[in-house]
Structure 1
């Protein structure tokens, strides 16, 4: 599956799982390595770096920003092979 198709489907799924959430694309041309998606839900937020597969390469600074933002709230690399696990973790994070 191409990354842009996976990302588009993921955005729709996030909106279905978390009614009323805002899912927006972040601009990596502004901050190189910033995760792809910002998810705002009630008083919580998360970022997701979308990859087409578990073996897709990471660009410079992506690991740094995913780790930094995870320490602040919730951030993960997400790809088809781990999607359900990440969405389960996100459900748990947004529940609190």
Structure 2
């Protein structure tokens, strides 16, 4: 599966799990390494960096931004092999 296919399916899944959420794709040319998706839900937010697999390489600055944004709210690398776990963690993080 291509990363773009995984990302498209993930966006649909996020909208189903978190009704009314906003899922926005970030612009990779604006800030290199910024995670792919920004999810806004009620008064919470999260970012996800999509990868086609757990062994896919990380681009420059991706680890930095995922770590930094995780300190602020919730940020993870997500790929098919860890999708269920990450979505579970995100549900816990979005609980009020």
- For the superposition of Structure 1 and Structure 2, which TM-score range results when normalised by the shorter chain? over 0.9
**2: CA distance, partners of 1:3 / 1:27:** 16
1:49 maps to 49
After TM superposition, where is structure 1 displaced by more than 6 Å over at least 4 residues in a row? Answer: none
Partner SS for 1:33: coil
Q: How does 1:45-84 map to 2 (within 5 A)?
A: 45-84=45-84
Structure 2: tracts of 5 or more residues without a match: none
1:16 maps to 16
Matched, 1:31 2:27: no
**TM-score for both structures, normalised by structure 1:** 0.99
**TM-score for both structures, normalised by structure 2:** 0.99
How many positions carry a matched residue from both structures? 96
Structure 1: tracts of 5 or more residues without a match: none
Partner SS for 1:31: coil
